Amino acid sequence: MDRRQWLRIAGGGVVVAATAPVLSGCSSDLPAEAVAAWQAPSAELDLRRWVLSHALLAPHAHNLQSWVVDLPEPDTMVLRMDMARLLPETDPLSRQMVISQGTFLELLDMAARQRGHRAVITTFPEGSYGAQPDARPTAHIRLVPDTTVSPDPLFAQVFKRHTHRGAYEARDPSPEALKAMGDSVAAWPVTLGWVTRAQGEALREHGRIAMAAWQTELVTPRTLLESYHLLRIGPTEIAQHRDGIALNRPDIRLINALGLFDRSKASAPDSSEIKEQLASFNQNIASTPAYVWIRTAANDRSTQLQAGRAYVRLQLAATAHGLSMHPLSQALQEYPEQLAHYDAAHRLMGGGASGHTVQMWTRLGYASTPGTPSPRRGLEAQFPAASSPKGRA
């Protein structure tokens, strides 16, 4: 999900985080404790905790981090979905949630290899859940010493991987980068596709669908409110939750401290804040030199997990070549208002007539500015006793 870079103010005004002037004397950096997880953990940690300290850096839809891990016995972990951390409006089938469980498992596997262990992963050991996740485990993991495993070269990018939603430079990804990205997912049952500026009309059609789908999400009250409820404004809220959509601009913090933000009501479709957000998003889309996507022949829960594992590998490979990625989730979401965009995206990316499902679709390019880490809840928050419902800050 894209981070909303603006907020509506009571009385109809708007602050646009991407363009509003910064007040002097205040930093917009995220609180140190909110991004502490992005520092490499001590090698003296228990192996399972060391491995999990890397897995929790995996990309997750809306930065919800819906991972819960039990440690039932030595060398063993059980991964479950945090049922309080779902997106029922924008992800009604929880497809994105399952993909995000897959990204976690892939980084866990990489970290285990780094320490000379094989992660024996049994997915859905008590059976796969159906239309909605339930309390059954996503995976049972056992760490087994194995002198034959080799470290994955992509592991070096784990702490460098960040999603970048801003403008990209006007140059195509290098052929070497595209080949490396393709190689990174060759072992997984996914089909990788991309377009660059050489396919001008196709590139423009990707942009048109992305813009239309984004507008649909913004003007649908219940989907917009789902994002409002996950806003974390200012260092106190960001440090408290360490998830969701972090906004720490000094001007936003000031107006929020004055009680002028209203996060309980959706903005009107013709409001200035909606228009500003659309303009900002469309400008970034217009700068996009390439799009890349992952599609699968099946769409069961196991396939969604595999798509997540492939996706994080793809992003790590892109990172290794200086490229940034920005997922475009809206047109792939399965709620009624997105149906026309969903169909258009699948036709464009080869999922229509083939019956394939497009699992991930992202912008791809060289970012004009460096990416920054997103908040993470940290190691202890991954265990059941620390799990908590998503906040209504």
219-231 pLDDT per residue, tens: 999 999 999 999 9
Q: Determine, yes or no, domain membership for 103.
A: yes
Q: Determine, yes or no, domain membership for 369.
A: yes
| Residue 178 token pair | 């595209």
Which is nearest to 8 in space by CA: 284, 252, 238, 216? Answer: 252
- 300's CB contacts (< 8 A; 6+ apart) are 128
In tens, the pLDDT along 168-202 reads 999 999 999 999 999 999 999 999 999 999 999 99
In tens, the pLDDT along 32-46 reads 999 999 999 999 899
Q: Determine, yes or no, domain membership for 281.
A: no
Q: Determine, yes or no, domain membership for 266.
A: no
Q: Report the b/e string of 167-184 with b at 16+ CB within 10 A.
A: bbeeebbeeebbebbeeb
- Average pLDDT over all residues of the chain: 91
In tens, the pLDDT along 351-366 reads 877 899 999 999 999 9
Which is nearest to 221 in space by CA: 267, 165, 175? Answer: 267
Phi, psi of 180 (to 5 degrees): -65, -40
Can you tell me the mean pLDDT for 263-285?
90
Separation between Cα atoms, residue 317 and residue 319, nearest integer Å: 5
Q: Is the pLDDT of residue 113 over 90?
A: yes
- 277's CB contacts (< 8 A; 6+ apart) are 4, 5, 6, 16, 218
Low-confidence winner among 210-214, 261-265, 275-279, 362-366 (lowest mean pLDDT): 261-265
- Burial class from Cβ neighbours inside 10 Å (0-12, 13-18, 19+) for residue 332 reads buried
pTM for this prediction: 0.91
Percent of the chain scored above 70 by pLDDT? 91
Separation between Cα atoms, residue 73 and residue 56, nearest integer Å: 20
In the block, tokens 């029922």 appear at 88
Can you tell me the mean pLDDT for 321-348?
97
Instruction: Kindly state the helix (H) or strand (E) to which residue 191 belongs, with its residue range.
Output: strand 191-196
What region, left, alpha or beta, does residue 310 occupy, with left being phi > 0 and alpha being psi -120 to 50 degrees? alpha
Q: Determine, yes or no, domain membership for 331.
A: yes
| Residue 365 token pair | 């390019």
| Residue 250 token pair | 């000094």
Instruction: Kindly state the helix (H) or strand (E) to which residue 162 belongs, with its residue range.
Output: none
Phi, psi of 336 (to 5 degrees): -55, -40
**Residue 229: other Cβ atoms inside 10 A:** 16
Quickly list H helices, the chain.
Answer: 47-55, 95-114, 175-184, 200-219, 221-228, 234-241, 250-257, 272-286, 301-320, 339-348
Q: Determine, yes or no, domain membership for 158.
A: yes
Residues in the chain: 393
8 A C-beta contact, residue 308 and residue 302: no
pLDDT (0 to 100) of residue 386: 53
Separation between Cα atoms, residue 390 and residue 361, nearest integer Å: 26
The parent domain of residue 355 ranges over: 33-201+286-386
Quickly list H helices, 17-159.
Answer: 47-55, 95-114
Q: Report the b/e string of 37-56 with b at 16+ CB within 10 A.
A: bbeeeeeeeebbbbbbbbbb
CATH number of the structural domain spanning residue 380: 3.40.109.10
Q: Is the pLDDT of residue 148 over 60?
A: yes
Q: Determine, yes or no, domain membership for 206.
A: no
End-to-end CA distance of the chain: 18
- Looking from the CA of 101 toward its CB, the CA atoms found within 13 Å total 30
**Domain count within the chain:** 1
DSSP state of 94: -
In tens, the pLDDT along 119-133 reads 999 999 999 998 899
In tens, the pLDDT along 49-104 reads 999 999 999 999 999 999 999 999 999 999 999 999 999 999 999 999 999 999 99
Q: Determine, yes or no, domain membership for 252.
A: no
Q: Is the pLDDT of residue 21 over 50?
A: no
Separation between Cα atoms, residue 240 and residue 31, nearest integer Å: 10
Q: Report the b/e string of 192-210 with b at 16+ CB within 10 A.
A: bbbbbeeeeeebebbbebb
